[in-house]
């Protein structure tokens, strides 16, 4: 727009700068815009002095003058500086920088040039404002942490996430990126957009760049104008291209198909939000939920919550929180200073050291925790609440757009293209083909609002409106480019036809040219369409006479009835002798065929809207393949969202291992192949002969990754988390500290881990303590466990909760002791109680005996012939016993003998029962020792014996080792899970 207009012409701010007629410009002055449209600074000063010294108008209405001046200033800021154009996503300063760099030929293949040269070019020709505003805009387009898809390739110091300023423009260098040239500037000179005069009328600049992608959404934008502001988040290229393609193929191309129902040609908002679920910030981080993003996309106003990416590492003997990605537009140096102040002021507890280890490979902020009382979950929660490790992006999607009553190019009549039969009338003039094309295009598109940026108004838009607006603009630019190209092709076809016609009669043309006095006479003779006069080649006298005659007398002389146009005649006269060969004529015929093929393709783009849309889809797919990348900002989907985080995780079978030292890890079940009975096994943890007691495996279970793990501590508190949320590790890895996975304090021991696939109302949770207390609680109670956990049992002094199983009223409960006794009673006779109840006595214990294990088996009449009790001792002996051998007794009975021991020593060397598992012949057992040695074998390899038998060796155990926690893996569960895939 024009910035220096006369102050008494307020409505002119809303109109475009009209260009003078091209012919008048050539005759009067080389200016792109008339001088009368501009007011120089000197004229403004003279006018001000005149107003002051004018005695007749000594009084000026201050209110009117302020109102007029302020409105002019406000409109200048809104339309010319602060707000981006929704078509190319650029503010005027960014557009002028890119255009100036294109004019300087700073392409990706050329060398870098000083930024001061570019800034000077922009200031002197297009943007009469401060040099630092131009340089800051250039720097931002070169920063990979500010812009998702850089448009400027910077060389030198262009700042950092620590808010370090860029070096002075005399030190830095720049050039265009391939992204800028491919998506913004490649079609600039194909009459795709309109040009207007610059601030002084000596240069021309484009009103908008012919963008192939909606850069307003890809790179976002922010700006503060007068009375309004904009803040648009960046997005992922692949997601935007997917959404554009869907809108084109389903809403635009299918509308022309009469067989398609109206409901099938609309992309719903839900479908659109699945394609573009949330913004994608260049600094990565995570986005919490999609509900806020949906509100932003539906209303144009909303906020998105961002959180840093962190993980837990062990540095020496201390845990450390490592920050690797920060939220968008967060100053890392200011963040570290804020953290340090909070720690010094005792507002952040648990942090012992804070340092920045970031380098050129990425961000790494280390927060070492205190060794004793620091809970990583609590520290992180405080960091998210009190620092910018978690912050929000307040979006306000506002940009310059056409008024709603103005439709795009789709409703503008396409200008008729010149036909082949009218070639003579079109090209028989002194005007060039390109000039004809330019004037024709400007007439055809004159009614479109794209001819002037001043016809745009600030509007808030939704995601769908932004995409539709861009697609309309892209449709227009392709049509305009096609009209320009078809005009060029027709002009060349016109020339080639004239050359072919002349080459067919080349001898007569040469003879005619030899006998005429000057090129003008030759041109007129080639353009003649009347009867041909025969040339007497043998008459030297006649030739001399014609050569001496004037060009005007050539009307009565010799000429050929070729009927060429002026352009064709000039092309013939420019032919060299070497071009008169038969080979050159063949090349012209081949060129004529290629040009005709191109013309038909261009004509199809002008006649068929679907052809234009297909071209748009192909362009976007090509750009997506070249510049697209995976989403940087991961999304943590909330519970109220349509998409759950669990949908992104494959539901595989895994092994969960918990050690006595408070470490947990998850491994794929296929890591352990099935082995034979009596083998030594494979190491499954970091423990070994030299390991400490903390490395002893406490729990080892198999589950599905989508299962909920009820992790119960020995003091009767239950916590819940998904199995896939347990950090994975290798067989020999130590694992992750439990406090980083669960909100438990140091010293708490997880005594039971229960995988739950579904919280059924018909199922119960049976809990047992080391002192023989037992209780039954409905499973549905545990469906919603808060982050603080739930109290599930009240324990007596010195008692500990150790076992947890699921059961129904049709099941039986089997309790075994460490000295080989077992008691079986019906679960239905155990009355359900509340979460905080104490429970009842499970069985009577002999002196020195304790509960070894609790299992749940089918009822007396259910699967008795298929189920077995697997007895495993600590020294590696085991057997299967039929469940029929254990009669049902009342609760609180003494029990019967379940196994006898081969080692009958008394004291620490005495063998004890490690577990009583309910198995079938198709099951597999995963035995695990206290030092982390695991062996997986089939249950049917273990023989079935009587209750009083001592069993066979199922695993070789070292003298200092013992079996701690066997885990059961059912074959039918494997078969079910093998068919599951992502999202199932």
Instruction: List, by residue number, the catalytic residues.
Output: 171
Alpha-carbon distance of 796 to 794, in angstroms, equals 7
Tokens, residue 413? 């009549």
Tokens, residue 530? 């009347």
Neighbours of 539 (CB within 10 A): 11
Sign of the alpha-carbon torsion through 697, 703, 705, 710: negative
Residue count (the chain): 984
What H or E segment, with its residue span, contains residue 26? helix 22-28
Sign of the alpha-carbon torsion through 912, 915, 916, 919: negative
Tell me the pairing of strands 286-288 and 152-155.
unpaired
Apex 664 CA angle, 662 and 670, nearest 5 = 150
- How far is residue 655 from each of residues 156, 662, 676, 702, 926, measured CA to CA in Å? 51, 16, 20, 5, 9
Alpha-carbon distance of 453 to 87, in angstroms, equals 11
Tell me the pairing of strands 301-307 and 390-396.
antiparallel
* Residue 86 phi, psi (nearest 5): -70, -15
* Contact by Cβ (8 Å): 239, 273: no
* Contact by Cβ (8 Å): 433, 496: no
- How far is residue 2 from each of residues 43, 66, 75, 825, measured CA to CA in Å? 16, 20, 11, 93
* Contact by Cβ (8 Å): 928, 966: yes
Tokens, residue 792? 């599930």
Alpha-carbon distance of 171 to 104, in angstroms, equals 19
Q: Which residues contact 586 (CB under 8 A, 6 or more apart)?
A: none
Residue located via tokens 């909760």: 801
* Contact by Cβ (8 Å): 917, 873: no
Q: 3-class DSSP state for residue 673? A: coil
Neighbours of 49 (CB within 10 A): 10
Q: 3-class DSSP state for residue 469? A: helix
Tokens, residue 569? 């005649």
């Amino acid at each position: 727009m024009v910035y220096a207009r006369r102050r008494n012409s307020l409505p002119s701010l809303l109109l475009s700068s009209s260009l003078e007629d091209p012919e008048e410009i050539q005759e009067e002055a080389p200016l792109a815009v008339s001088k009368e449209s501009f007011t120089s600074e000197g004229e403004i000063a003279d006018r001000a002095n005149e107003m002051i010294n004018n005695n007749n108008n000594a009084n000026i209405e201050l209110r009117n003058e302020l109102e007029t001046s302020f409105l002019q200033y406000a409109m200048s800021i809104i339309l010319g500086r602060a707000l981006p154009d929704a078509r190319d996503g650029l503010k005027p300063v960014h557009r002028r920088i890119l255009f100036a760099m294109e004019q300087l030929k700073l392409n990706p293949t050329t060398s870098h040039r000083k930024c001061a040269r570019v800034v000077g070019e922009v200031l002197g020709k297009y943007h009469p404002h401060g040099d630092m505003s131009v340089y800051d805009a250039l720097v931002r387009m070169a920063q990979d942490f500010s812009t998702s898809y850089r448009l400027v390739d910077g060389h030198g110091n262009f700042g950092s996430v620590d808010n370090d300023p860029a070096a002075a423009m005399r030190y830095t260098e720049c050039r265009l990126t391939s992204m800028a040239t491919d998506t913004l500037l490649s079609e600039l000179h194909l009459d795709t957009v309109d040009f207007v005069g610059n601030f002084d009328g000596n240069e021309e600049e484009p009103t908008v760049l012919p963008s192939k992608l909606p850069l307003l959404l890809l790179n976002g934008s922010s700006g503060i104008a007068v009375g309004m502001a904009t803040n648009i988040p960046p997005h992922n290229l692949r997601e935007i291209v997917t959404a554009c393609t869907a809108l084109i193929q389903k809403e635009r191309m299918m509308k022309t198909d009469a067989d398609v129902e109206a409901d099938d040609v609309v992309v719903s908002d839900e479908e659109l939000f699945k394609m573009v679920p949330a913004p994608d910030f260049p600094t990565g981080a995570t986005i919490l939920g999609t509900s806020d993003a949906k509100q932003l996309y539906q209303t144009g106003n909303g906020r998105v919550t961002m959180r840093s990416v962190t993980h837990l590492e062990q540095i020496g003997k201390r845990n450390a929180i490592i920050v690797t990605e920060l939220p968008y537009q967060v100053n890392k140096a200011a963040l570290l200073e804020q953290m340090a102040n909070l720690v010094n002021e005792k507002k952040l507890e648990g942090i012992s050291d804070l340092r920045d280890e970031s380098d050129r490979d990425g961000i790494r902020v280390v927060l070492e925790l205190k060794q004793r009382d620091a809970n990583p979950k609590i520290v992180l929660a405080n960091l998210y609440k009190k620092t910018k490790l978690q912050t929000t992006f307040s979006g306000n999607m506002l940009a310059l757009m056409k008024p709603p009553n103005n439709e795009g190019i789709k409703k503008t009549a396409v200008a008729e293209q010149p036909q082949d039969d009218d070639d003579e009338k079109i090209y028989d003039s002194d005007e060039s083909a390109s000039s004809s094309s330019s004037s024709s295009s400007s007439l055809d598109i004159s009614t479109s609002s794209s001819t002037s940026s001043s016809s745009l108004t600030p509007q808030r838009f939704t995601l769908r409106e932004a995409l539709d607006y861009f697609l309309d603009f892209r449709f227009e630019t392709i049509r305009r480019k096609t009209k320009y190209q078809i005009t060029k092709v027709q002009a060349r076809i016109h020339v080639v036809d004239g050359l072919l016609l002349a080459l067919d009669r080349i001898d007569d043309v040469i003879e005619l040219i030899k006998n005429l006095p000057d090129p003008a006479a030759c041109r007129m003779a080639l353009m003649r369409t009347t009867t041909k006069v025969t040339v007497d080649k043998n008459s030297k006298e006649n030739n001399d006479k014609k050569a001496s005659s004037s060009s005007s007398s050539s009307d009565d002389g010799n000429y050929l009835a070729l009927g060429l146009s002026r352009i064709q005649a000039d092309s013939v006269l420019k032919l060299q002798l070497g071009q008169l060969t038969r080979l050159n004529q063949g090349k012209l015929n081949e060129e004529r065929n290629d040009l005709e093929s191109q013309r038909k393709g261009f004509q199809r783009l002008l006649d068929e809207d679907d052809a234009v849309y297909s071209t748009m889809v192909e362009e976007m797919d090509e750009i997506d393949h070249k510049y697209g990348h995976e989403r940087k900002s991961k999304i943590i989907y909330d519970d109220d969202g349509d998409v759950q985080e669990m949908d992104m995780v494959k539901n595989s079978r895994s092994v969960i291992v918990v050690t006595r030292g408070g470490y947990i890890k998850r491994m794929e079940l296929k890591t352990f192949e099935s082995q034979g009975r009596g083998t030594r096994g494979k190491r499954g943890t970091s423990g070994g002969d030299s390991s400490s007691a903390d490395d002893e495996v406490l729990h080892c279970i198999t589950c599905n990754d989508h299962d909920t793990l009820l992790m119960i501590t020995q003091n009767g508190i239950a916590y819940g988390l998904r199995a896939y949320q347990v950090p994975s590790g290798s067989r020999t890895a130590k694992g992750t500290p439990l406090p980083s996975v669960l909100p438990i304090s140091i010293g708490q021991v997880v005594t039971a881990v229960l995988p739950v696939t579904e919280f059924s109302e018909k199922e119960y949770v049976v809990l047992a303590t080391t002192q023989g207390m037992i209780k039954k609680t409905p499973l549905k109670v545990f469906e919603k466990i808060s982050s603080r956990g739930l109290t599930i049992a009240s324990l007596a002094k010195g008692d500990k909760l150790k076992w947890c199983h699921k059961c129904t009223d049709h099941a039986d409960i089997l309790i075994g002791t460490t000295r080989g006794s077992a008691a079986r009673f019906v679960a239905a006779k155990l009355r359900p109680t509340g979460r905080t109840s104490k429970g009842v006595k499970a069985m009577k214990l002999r002196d020195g005996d304790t509960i070894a294990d609790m299992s749940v088996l089918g009822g007396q009449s259910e699967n008795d012939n298929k189920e077995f009790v697997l007895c495993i001792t600590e020294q590696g002996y085991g057997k299967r016993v039929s469940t029929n051998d254990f009669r049902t007794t009342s609760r609180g009975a003494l029990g019967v003998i379940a196994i006898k021991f081969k080692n009958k020593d008394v004291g620490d060397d005495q063998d004890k029962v490690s577990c009583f598992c309910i198995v079938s012949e198709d099951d597999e057992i995963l035995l695990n020792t206290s030092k982390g040695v695991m062996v997986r074998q089939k249950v049917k390899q273990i023989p079935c014996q009587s209750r009083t038998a001592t069993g066979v060796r199922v695993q070789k155990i070292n003298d200092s080792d013992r079996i701690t926690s066997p885990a059961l893996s059912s074959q039918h569960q494997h078969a079910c899970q093998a068919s599951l895939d992502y999202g199932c």
